[in-house]
Chain A
């Protein structure tokens, strides 16, 4: 904190920091081009994945930070992705309409499940298990409608022209373009998070998450507040799912829907930090880098490769699981939350 000495910290810190940070993230494709000219595509792919997941994680954390631990977000991303792709493949409807429709559908499902939950004050374990049932229900519907969705094998949005099209919202071949689309989404996610953070709703939800009766007694419409945040979170998750479908050009019930995905979302956010703006992003960086890093290390080392064989593929999941247990026990604030708390203590 050198700025502090000049007395400029209060002015420059909150403005300069974010601007520099954003500029750095925006310049990443350039950095990649300079540093890894040979494998530009691969590194950009990694960055795009991180940004897209960060967006979905941020959407989840909108609810998660208020104690609404949903295991239902795999349903929302799945609804978003499948709505867009099926409308495009079967009706030729452009994703410019498909994406909003998917978001509306996911929001409706979120409200439909949320309303009774919040009215009946289903919280904690019960909320988690109920939303888990929602995820399973949506996944089973996707598999069951296999004539349209391709069942458990998944399906692809049909390619439009050379794969780059504004009309079809397809951009996968141009990684730099894809990067900036993901970047824009990520920024949008952070913006929404900040808007929520600075709204009155945030205080209402904070109060409700600590004591519903007390919150209701001071005039907070708890059900309404929870529904608002659920609608926002579900709609954004659907948008994230749709973006994933358009970038990956493939969707499967286990890659974009389902319980495994729901759990991944929750855990990535927890490992990053649930109550802080960049927590979900740190979680996405952490999980992606862990998985890719381990893969590269194992591929690079002949001894490890021969020792582990094909089981090496699960090593990242094993370490991930172990780290999660340790995180929740020893670092419930997550990586970023813990760092910030430590920083604040040090700063005074």
Chain B
């Protein structure tokens, strides 16, 4: 398979752009938690998986898709808050790496729980949204919707952080963890709210992912590393940066996959990530070092 600058190449690039929307949305929630609480949920993709199973079950039980999606979002928002309360809060004052590792335990737990509860087979909602043809190129409708929703979610989060009191408080605590409690802000509550919002964003991503991907217990391992890369590459807590990083990474994947084998697209993306961090450790778009 050689690479030619033909219509298929353009299709690959545009599909990469659409994939970027989903990856950016996935990174958004993690970025928020990462930026505000300074904790990496290494189990983030598994939290998304919880949402996917939730939506799958609600939908199979007869709920219309939008209701099922809503149930999924609420479920994962609660899961995010519970994760923070039970697992993160007890280790907040220990070395940062402990916080990353403790969520690794959650990763094992959720993966095993999914395997035990739902088996290892692939599940699918069976919703077919068709595709849009444009010149000679085909684009799955689900991907276009995902892209649109991801943009809308980013805008909504941005407005929330800029325009509301709660959002301002969250931004403030991300800037200085020590000072804010002295100003009479209840940082424990803010962390809890942030975790719930991070969870809700993961739930939203789950709702879009069930339209495109099969659900299986190992799905987290497929997406997790990509999401971390995008967060770090975009610069911690920088949401625009996260979106651009998602765009770069997904182009590597889409173009690499169309020219060579899928793995090489991913491999080059990881290689690029490492090189980029060596050149700019604070992330491509990170403000502070």
Contacts and interface: CB of A to CB of B under 8 A. Distances in A.
Do the two chains bind?
yes
A125 B96 contact: yes
A199 interface: no
Interface residues of B, number: 45
A259 B225 contact: yes
A69 B97 contact: yes
B270 A267 contact: no
Interface stretch (A53-61, A126-134, A165-173, A214-222): A126-134
A266 B104 CA distance: 10
B213 interface: no
Interface stretch (A30-38, A90-98, A176-184, A324-332): A324-332
In the complex, which of the residues A121, A128, A321 has the most CB atoms of chain B within 10 Å of its own CB atom?
Answer: A321
Interface in A311-333: 311-318, 320-325, 327-329, 332
A312 B119 CA distance: 10
A315 B117 CA distance: 11
Interface string A25-56: 00000000000000000000000000000000
A145 B90 CA distance: 44
B122 interface: no
B40 A129 contact: yes
Nearest to A260: B221
Given A69-B97, A328-B105, A311 B117 contact: yes
B67 interface: no
Contacts of B91: 328-329
Interface string A228-250: 00000000000000000000000
A318 B112 contact: yes
Interface of A: 67, 69, 113, 116-117, 120-122, 124-126, 128-130, 132-134, 136-137, 140-141, 143-144, 259-260, 263, 266-267, 270, 308, 310-318, 320-325, 327-329, 332
Interface in B219-241: 221, 224-225, 228-229, 232
B274 interface: yes
The 7 closest A-B pairs by CB, nearest first: A321-B108, A321-B109, A324-B105, A318-B112, A317-B112, A311-B116, A144-B263
A69 B98 CA distance: 10
B106 interface: yes
Given A318-B116, A324-B104, 11 more contacts: A125-B100, A133-B225, A134-B270, A134-B274, A137-B267, A263-B108, A317-B112, A318-B108, A322-B109, A328-B101, A332-B94
Nearest to A267: B104
Q: Tell me what chain B mostly uses at the interface: helix, strand, loop, or mixed.
A: helix
Contacts of B274: 113, 130, 133-134, 137
Given A260-B221, A314-B116, A324-B102, A129 B281 contact: no
A117 B106 CA distance: 28
A140 B264 contact: yes
B109 A124 contact: no
B118 to A, nearest CB: 9
Contacts of B101: 69, 266-267, 270, 324, 328
In the complex, which of the residues B98, B112, B221 has the most CB atoms of chain A within 10 Å of its own CB atom?
Answer: B112
B262 to A, nearest CB: 9
A263 B107 contact: yes
B261 interface: yes
A67 B102 CA distance: 15
